[in-house]
A and B are shown apart, each in its own frame.
Chain A
Amino acid sequence: MTSTLRSDRSSPAAAGAPLLRFEQLGMAYPTPKGPYPVLENVNLEVQAGEFVCLIGHSGCGKSTLLNTVSGFAKPTSGRVLLKGQPIQRPGPDRMVVFQGYALLPWLSAYDNVHLAIDSVKPQLAEREKREIVMEHLELVGLTQAAEKLITQLSGGMKQRVAIARALAIRPEVLILDEPFGALDAITKEELQEELLKIWNTQKCTVLMITHDIDEALFLADRLVMMTNGPSAAIGEVLTIDFPRPRNREDIMEDPRYYELRNSALDFLYNRFAHDHDEAG
């Protein structure tokens, strides 16, 4: 049984030079009372093709950390290197699935994805662009809804379009900021499975913020747990080495699942409990 589940994917951490590297990263926002440190001394290496989830209490700077990768925020100290080069500005090699989807409501699902390809790869022939759009809408199961306006789609379908748009431009790093937080439980599980399937075929590197430990355990190779802000840093990194492709039920029968789950819970609710939780 276990032998059929074992993946031939070699342990990503064992590979060569990291794709992404945070070096002594610090981030402080200026306030009238002086700089407010959000992140301090963040060090992390992410290998190409790795699926990394970030978890931590709200306000710990998870989004800020990902913004330094997408290029929307510049670190105030230290640096973030992508293939050895410091990240300067946003670019399509680090595509973001935004928290509020950020789809253009006056365009159809098709046109939203098409606009992304048209912007990133204008040199392609129209026929090729069309094929890429349809291929990615099919990946997320939206072939039927391609011509629908964004305003006519449900939350789950919008998130599917956002994922299709992000993947269609073939980013090296896919950044997801709590992508499934606003969805109902069933849609959420469906989308998690679809995301894993796509990730398996496209082999891009994924950085994803989540609040859901089970989601992280199902999806990620590693779970990065952050300490509380101000001056948040990486507290602990859990390696989740369930074989791939994963199956939700099989994982949950694995005794290691509960070990990992308990250590994540212990980290979040005992060792780094939120201020409010401590007070209460």
Chain B
Amino acid sequence: MTTAPSSGFNLAQWWKRSRKTILPPLFGIGGFLLFWQLSASLGLTKLSGPLSLWTEERTRDLLLYPFFDRGGLDKGLFWHTLSSLSRVALGYTLAAVVGIGVGIAVGLNQALNRAFDPLFQFLRMVAPLAWVPIALVMFQQNQPAAIFVIFITSIWPILINTAEGVRQIPQDYRNVALVLQMSKKRFFTKILIPSALPYIFTGLRISIGLAWLAIIAAEIVMPGTPGIGFFIWDANQNGYVSDIVLGVIWIGAIGLILDRLMAWLQTRIATGR
């Protein structure tokens, strides 16, 4: 007959503590949605309001049934997202591998850095959309071209941050390696990588957002393959404005999740070292 221990959770106290962090964003987002809905209802803009996601039957079905698949390009949002994400995964992984590799080489070698840095600085200014025609000419096919666009858009922050991380290795650590006459391999795994890791992760986090931006650009310009970009392009062709709104919200949400995921990984790596 033991009395249940008083649970540490007290709703009133919890609310008192967290209302300051919960209420403001609720008001902010709610206010924005209200303003948007009002301007749509009053006819100030042709853009359909947020309520149209529910009131339009076609959009509501898309919202409620993301997993349907009627073959071809007629699929639920989940499947479109999945094929977009798999393209991002491919292009982004490629960018990470090449970016970290080249970044380390450039960070270690002053001459190499002088030779290529102007080129890198130039290329990173080119917008994802501008790469699309070049990629199409290079690869002649939509799928590899889309992956290339993701790769070339997202590689620069990884490369530049990695190189900076390698350059920022404290002289003290290099001196330790010198006095212990560490092998190149040991210096690489025991000093270079751990020391540059925070910089590498900063690059990786910036790049995941860019990669996601690039996939939309690539798919919108290269229709005919399933993907969230194609979904928006298709809705645009048919004049389904509420579908476009849904697509855009969906893209934003996925991008946010990807960014949070990288941020989480970043703190895990930083504290777990």
* Complex CA distance for A115 and B194, rounded to whole angstroms: 14
Q: Which B residues are CB-close (under 8 A) to A94?
A: 179
* Complex CA distance for A52 and B178, rounded to whole angstroms: 24
With A102-B173, A104-B190 already in contact, the answer to whether A91 and B181 are too (CB < 8 A) is yes
CB distance from B74 to the nearest CB of A (A): 51
Partner of B172, one of A100, A118, A169: A100
Partner of B173, one of A72, A92, A104: A104
Chain B, 180-209, CB within 8 A of any chain A CB: 180-183, 186, 190-191, 194-195
Is B97 part of the contact surface with A, judged by Cβ < 8 Å?
no
Partner of A98, one of B176, B186, B190, B191: B176
Number of B residues with CB within 8 Å of any CB on chain A: 17
0/1 per residue, B162-183, Cβ < 8 Å to A? 0000000010110110111111
CB distance from B113 to the nearest CB of A (A): 23
**Contact between A96 and B175, CB atoms less than 8 A apart:** yes
* Complex CA distance for A98 and B186, rounded to whole angstroms: 20
* Complex CA distance for A64 and B179, rounded to whole angstroms: 16
Q: Which B residues are CB-close (under 8 A) to A102?
A: 170, 172-173, 175-176
Q: Which A residues are CB-close (under 8 A) to B170?
A: 102
0/1 per residue, A75-96, Cβ < 8 Å to B? 0000000000000011110111
**Contact between B191 and A104, CB atoms less than 8 A apart:** yes
**Contact between A116 and B180, CB atoms less than 8 A apart:** yes
Is B273 part of the contact surface with A, judged by Cβ < 8 Å?
yes
* Chain A residue with the shortest CB-CB distance to B177: A119
0/1 per residue, B260-271, Cβ < 8 Å to A? 000000000000
**Contact between A98 and B172, CB atoms less than 8 A apart:** yes
Q: Which A residues are CB-close (under 8 A) to B183?
A: 119
Partner of A70, one of B172, B179, B191: B179
**Contact between A119 and B181, CB atoms less than 8 A apart:** yes
* Complex CA distance for A101 and B194, rounded to whole angstroms: 18
Q: Which B residues are CB-close (under 8 A) to A91?
A: 179, 181
* Complex CA distance for A92 and B170, rounded to whole angstroms: 20
Is A120 part of the contact surface with B, judged by Cβ < 8 Å?
yes
SS of A interface (majority): loop
0/1 per residue, B95-110, Cβ < 8 Å to A? 0000000000000000
Q: Which B residues are CB-close (under 8 A) to A120?
A: 180-181
* Complex CA distance for A118 and B191, rounded to whole angstroms: 14
* Chain A residue with the shortest CB-CB distance to B179: A90
Among A95, A98, A169, the one with the most B-chain Cβ atoms within 10 Å of its Cβ is A98
Q: Which A residues are CB-close (under 8 A) to B175?
A: 72, 90, 96, 98, 102
Q: Which B residues are CB-close (under 8 A) to A169?
A: 180
**Contact between B182 and A119, CB atoms less than 8 A apart:** yes
**Contact between B191 and A92, CB atoms less than 8 A apart:** no
CB distance from A37 to the nearest CB of B (A): 24
CB distance from A50 to the nearest CB of B (A): 21
* Complex CA distance for A101 and B191, rounded to whole angstroms: 15
**Contact between A104 and B179, CB atoms less than 8 A apart:** no
**Contact between B194 and A104, CB atoms less than 8 A apart:** yes
* Complex CA distance for A195 and B176, rounded to whole angstroms: 21
0/1 per residue, A173-199, Cβ < 8 Å to B? 000000000000000000000000000
CB distance from B181 to the nearest CB of A (A): 6
Q: Which B residues are CB-close (under 8 A) to A98?
A: 172, 175-176
**Contact between A92 and B172, CB atoms less than 8 A apart:** no
* Chain A residue with the shortest CB-CB distance to B180: A119
**Contact between A72 and B178, CB atoms less than 8 A apart:** yes
* Chain B residue with the shortest CB-CB distance to A94: B179
* Chain B residue with the shortest CB-CB distance to A119: B180
**Contact between B273 and A119, CB atoms less than 8 A apart:** no
Q: Which B residues are CB-close (under 8 A) to A92?
A: 179-181
Q: Which A residues are CB-close (under 8 A) to B172?
A: 98, 100, 102
Partner of B273, one of A106, A115, A118: A106
**Contact between B179 and A95, CB atoms less than 8 A apart:** yes
Instruction: Please list the 9 inter-chain residue pairs (A to B) with the smallest Cβ-Cβ separation, ordered nearest first.
Output: A102-B172, A106-B273, A119-B180, A90-B179, A90-B178, A106-B194, A119-B182, A102-B176, A96-B179
**What are 21 A-B residue pairs whose CB atoms fall within 8 Å in the complex?**
A70-B179, A71-B178, A90-B175, A90-B178, A91-B179, A91-B181, A92-B179, A92-B181, A95-B179, A98-B175, A102-B170, A102-B172, A102-B173, A102-B175, A104-B176, A104-B194, A106-B195, A119-B181, A119-B182, A120-B180, A169-B180
Binding site for A on B (CB under 8 A): 170, 172-173, 175-176, 178-183, 186, 190-191, 194-195, 273
Given A71-B179, A104-B173, output 14 extra A-B contacts at Cβ < 8 Å: A70-B179, A90-B178, A90-B179, A91-B179, A91-B181, A92-B181, A95-B179, A102-B173, A102-B176, A104-B176, A104-B191, A104-B194, A106-B194, A169-B180
